[in-house]
Amino acid sequence: MPNIDGLACEIICTNKEADELAATTGYDVRRRFVNARKRLDKGAIAFCTFVKGEIVNIGWVALSAEAKKTLDPLLQKVDFSNNEAYLSGGETIPEYRRKGLAEHNFCRRVQFLREKGVTSMRMAVRVSNIAPQIVALRHGTEIYARTWYTRVLWWKSWKEIPLAQSGHGD
């Protein structure tokens, strides 16, 4: 747990829960994150970290294809019927970066998913986005594929090559 005064964590699964939290704290998470209402409506789960009542970090989990579609446009396959989950949308406001909040949020999401019986978790991270890669690797995850996503107007393409085949693996 990061050593920050006034730190509080909440898991929000529905817009009703977000409404209740807003009523008790006076702060509505959905004001800062534009797509939060839609994501919650479709079943995505928000893991929020607050400092003195203001949200400073958020991470999302999808347990269904419908929820995953709200988190990102990627065509990555996740077998939700086989106890897989999708993690996405981690964000920390600039003033609170490098304080361990993203790692704490990641650990909370993993623990939550393990308690739900999830056996495999997937996420997509840009090669240039080093911070989430470091957090994930620190906790025993492995990079299993290199992918390419192309979108031109309405046409989309997703290509996933396992690392063993791409020449980047061990």
Which strand (E) or helix (H) includes residue 115?
A: helix 101-115
- Residue 58 · residue 29 · CB < 8 Å: yes
Total domains, the chain: 1
Residue 157 has what pLDDT? 83
CATH of the domain at 48: 3.40.630.30
Tell whether 169 is covered by a domain.
no
Contacts 24+ apart (CB under 8 A), 132-135: 132/90, 132/102, 132/106, 135/102, 135/103, 135/106
Q: Kindly state whether residue 151 falls inside one of the protein's structural domains.
A: no
Residue 140 lies in a domain: yes
Task: For residue 170, tell me if it sits in a domain.
Answer: no
**CA dihedral of residues 37, 77, 64, 7 (deg, nearest 10):** -60
pLDDT of residue 139: 64
User: What pLDDT shows up at residue 102?
Assistant: 86
Residue 104 CB burial class (10 angstroms; 0-12, 13-18, ≥19): buried
What is the tally of helices (H) and strands (E) in the chain? 7, 7
Q: How confident is the model at residue 133, as a pLDDT?
A: 67
| Backbone dihedral angles phi then psi of residue 22, each to the nearest 5 degrees | -65, -40
Burial class (CB in 10 A: 0-12, 13-18, 19+), 85: buried
User: What's residue 166's pLDDT?
Assistant: 44
Residue 156 lies in a domain: no
Residue 155, helix vs strand vs coil: strand
Q: What is the pLDDT along the chain (170 residues), one digit of tens a residue?
A: 677 888 889 999 999 999 999 998 888 888 888 789 999 999 999 999 998 888 899 999 999 999 999 998 777 889 999 999 999 878 888 998 889 888 899 889 999 999 999 998 887 766 666 666 667 777 667 777 777 778 888 888 878 787 765 444 44
Q: Is residue 25 part of a domain?
A: yes
Q: Give a yes or no: residue 53 inside a domain.
A: yes
In a domain, 45, yes or no: yes
Place of tokens 């991270």: 125
Range of the domain at 35: 7-144
